[in-house]
Amino acid sequence: QVQLVQSGAEVKKPGASVKVSCKASGYTFTSYYMHWVRQAPGQGLEWMGIINPSDGSTTYAQKFQGRVTMTRDTSTSTVYMELSSLRSEDTAVYYCARGAPKWELLPGFNYWGQGTLVTVSS
């Protein structure tokens, strides 16, 4: 069965960076794009960006351009999201999420990681 397992909670100081991992299993890793979505406490869902595990190409939401880097390791079927220059407003649960196969071009994320809480506090 499809599983997306994320790394554990992190506490970081303002100005630091955080790197969250998402290990995929149960499907062909390179056949599906992976997205990152975050949710601040009591707030809505915010799309951060997408990575193509086949070639590592990325597209980031304009809000995070210059601060976010998404990478992948095909040998371990893992994607990573690194966010730098952290500030208190970055305190949130970060999710990886997967949708339909690339060739189906359908909207919607039907598999999500369990979420990783990142707390930014001095």
Partner 1 sequence: DIQMTQSPSTLSASVGDRVTITCRASQSISSWLAWYQQKPGKVPKLLIYKASSLESGVPSRFSGSGSGTEFTLTISSLQPDDFATYYCQQYNRTFGQGTKVEIK
Task: Summarize as ranges the residues that interact with partner 1 (CB under 8 A).
Answer: 33, 35, 37, 44-47, 50, 61-62, 95, 99-100, 106-110, 112-115
Burial class (CB in 10 A: 0-12, 13-18, 19+), 55: exposed
* Contacts of residue 42, Cβ cutoff 8 Å, sequence gap at least 6: none
Type of residue found at 77: S
| Least CB distance to partner 1 at residue 108 (A) | 4
For partner 1, which is the closer residue by CB, 35 or 72? 35
Proportion of the chain in helix, strand, coil states, percent, rounded to 5? 10, 45, 45
For partner 1, which is the closer residue by CB, 15 or 66? 66
Of 29, 52, 45, 39, the residue nearest 91 (C-alpha):
39
For partner 1, which is the closer residue by CB, 4 or 86? 4
| Least CB distance to partner 1 at residue 10 (A) | 18
| Least CB distance to partner 1 at residue 16 (A) | 26
| Least CB distance to partner 1 at residue 15 (A) | 27
For partner 1, which is the closer residue by CB, 13 or 104? 104
* Contacts of residue 74, Cβ cutoff 8 Å, sequence gap at least 6: 29, 30, 53
